[in-house]
Amino acid sequence: MKTTLCHININFLKAAAFISLIVFVSFGNGYAGISAPVNWQQIHTENTILYFQNMDDLNRFNTRINYNPNNDNSDSRLAVTISKKIDALFRKSQDLLEMKGFTNKINVKIFSNRQQLNHAFYALYKKECNARAWYAHEKLTIYIQLDDLYEGMLAHEFAHAIIDHYMIIPPPGKAAEILARYVDTHLQMEAIKNSSESQIKAYSTK
């Protein structure tokens, strides 16, 4: 009787261990792309250091950030095109805030998706993330993800960096957020206006 019970217990333990192994492997595979060390690649622009993980992400970023106010397409190289977009967006944020004189380069880290971004937030702050993007003053770094990135979102984070480093004493968080949202909203309204004007010109052409 004891032998039978022992045999049952051993079989039960083996089964439990096997199930645990399956769960562990499944969990590990699901998060392998998030927790694995990332070999960041860089593009240095006039105002930023852009960190990206692969060329697919860089192409997605280029598609998401469609900001080229001077219509300067003289260079077809992707890195050059992106550098012009980012620096133009940074200068636009400065102009809207009327805050010039930024000297340090801002780090911009691009994550492939919201899940990766959430994981990075938890690794830094040990709490859940409820932001689609954020700026860390102590690291001079903007963290963004490609799932729903747009020009205003990046400009919003640029604004936080500009405000924090322009003022000797950074303003309260709510005041800085109002200013950053002003930059974001202005760019969205500008994009709508430009889109409407393009449609009017197109419809008027025969």
Residue 10 in any domain: the answer is no
Nearest alpha carbon to residue 86 among 142, 165, 170, 166: 142
| pLDDT, averaged across the chain | 82
Residue 24 pLDDT exceeds 80: no
Instruction: Please count the structural domains in the chain.
Output: 1
Residue 206 in any domain: the answer is no
Residue 176 in any domain: the answer is yes
- The stretches of the chain forming alpha helices (DSSP H) are 2-30, 32-35, 55-64, 78-97, 114-125, 151-166, 173-204
Residue 78 in any domain: the answer is yes
Residue 18 pLDDT exceeds 70: no
Alpha carbon distance, N-terminus to C-terminus of the chain: 95
pLDDT band at 196 (very low <50, low <70, confident <90, very high): low
Residue 26 pLDDT exceeds 60: no
Comparing 36-40, 117-121, 123-127, which segment has the lowest mean pLDDT?
36-40
Domain span holding position 147: 41-201
Residue 15 in any domain: the answer is no
Edge-to-edge strands of the sheet including 141-145? 41-44, 48-52, 106-111, 141-145, 134-136
Per-residue pLDDT tens for 28-87?
A: 443 434 445 679 999 999 999 999 999 999 999 999 998 988 777 777 899 999 999 999
Residue 26 in any domain: the answer is no
Share of the chain above pLDDT 70, in %: 76
Report d(CA 162, CA 143) in Å as an integer: 15
Q: What is the CATH number of the domain that holds 134?
A: 3.40.390
Residue predicted with more confidence, 1 or 127: 127
Q: Residue 50: which residues within 8 A CB-CB, separation 6 or more?
A: 42, 43, 44, 82, 83, 86, 108, 110
Q: Residue 127: which residues within 8 A CB-CB, separation 6 or more?
A: 121
43 DSSP assignment: E
Residue 34 in any domain: the answer is no
Give the mean pLDDT of 88-105.
92
Residue 194 in any domain: the answer is yes
